[in-house]
Chains A and B, each alone.
Chain A
């Protein structure tokens, strides 16, 4: 049995709030699958799990804040491939082999649970045992999310089972109020009554609601049979401030229990950034280099490319700058990696952090993995996707923690040169300003060329000025041959 714990998603993270589970008990998960949505002071992130197995038990309820390292769920890591679940007609045959395979400890209680669920003829009146230590009851008004769902059903007579199937109620999720924990007919009917009524919403309205963060339960429908239509959603989105502006920073699917007014959110993010930047500036001895890069070849190539391409395939100058920064980092690996415990560890790939400003304030720098291997159109697509997810709070854990070097591009804001603070534990930050037309000397004559100021802030513990200079020279060289980017 493996534990899925609250991960550390940044050098300065102490605790996180579990917002939403993306999987349930009984689901098969693979290493790298996103399984939960976690909110930190700085952003909302989809967290991947590191094991492949069956999600056995969810230990923490959505809405709970826990310290880094707290177990959030149990994942069953089977020695052999689990058999497909059966309809439950012959429970014993599928259970016996599984019993033998489960390791001790939590497996013990699983066996107990299965014994409990055995047909009444064998085990009369066996008292219901909770299958494993339940999570802190304080936050659990809801029945304990039960164990392995593999054709094992809670004790329920045929009538109740039939009723549940008819009404579309999953017996696994019910807490039986009958003797011995049996699920009764009343339990099923109450579950049906407790369900929120299925909303009638047009497909367009549903999509708009997801895009704008409108909660459909709060919208009055004006369509046939009170169906909610697009106009109703638009009205709700622009209506009086029942809609929290957190739609700007956070995710559209934040559960009510996790909603906080945007003022708090913005302040928390600012505090977190303040902490990180102070620490970085204090601990890291920065040195700064700058150079002016002739962008004539690059911009000509770019315009030609865009002229030939449909609008959806256009490239921005930023794509060229990012690719050059990534390739240069490959050429100068001393700047691509992390400084921890008084030594430098080179990154195993060039994962280019891209500084993205969030609406309403705040900054994240998620990584474009293996940016040096992405062809320009792919890089452009990946960049668009990354920025969108950064702004809607749908980043993955690996994107937030894996950057080996970061680029900050303030060209849009009209600034010509930016000297930023390095994001620890990285050892370099590359800056690009706006591409501007400037007079220059070209082959001995005065001309006007588009140029960009490229800067490097680097950690003096890891590298010296000569290395930094080599990097900027590489960037300059790469941008003179845009067709090879």
Chain B
């Protein structure tokens, strides 16, 4: 590939190659304070290539390639090349990760105890994780929770936070402009802007945490909290995992251990302040 970049994010090393310079420049800026992989080896490779050879110059169109591919993934315009690189890294993790049980969830940590937030797209988990990350919690990741199947701990995977639509304004009001990537408009998911995690999250990205609570947040409803039974949590987390089936018995053992030892709550919230208040209450209860 003409242009290359290697990145270490938590326990995972990526090598990203691109036919164009611009997407990698944008990616390098987002990940400027992340280390390069220590041994120079990559766990996953992402390639951004023209959909057809002539599409490198003419109406450039970025197809995501790598060790694992989805045959029907639609190419993106070059203006969304940064998004293609981010999606490519997600895709390689979702399809190829075998060392950790992967949950589509945001995780934050305080005092060594981690909170797992999962839910459908739009439930607000990225926004809550981003806000908590600015208020004394350590952001471990907004997209994937990595569960170590040997010891039950969570590993950080603090990628740039992918903020969408309304969440962009919420965070722009709280975080200096230098920590944002470019504003990407008209993407398949609407408007997207990446937020660089703070230095605290990046410096401690090799530090595991013990999971303490599972939350299923839901935005847009009157404030309510209800307990969720372990069997329902198990079912929801198998649906939220991209590699549960592929991991077989190891995944079953790790997930049943997680859900049988952790409390789980579904929270409805009308605004982010309510959700942050609830999370702080839960933290104090867990610490007591």
Answer yes or no: do A and B interact: no
Query: Chain B: residues with CB nearer than 8 A to chain A?
Result: none
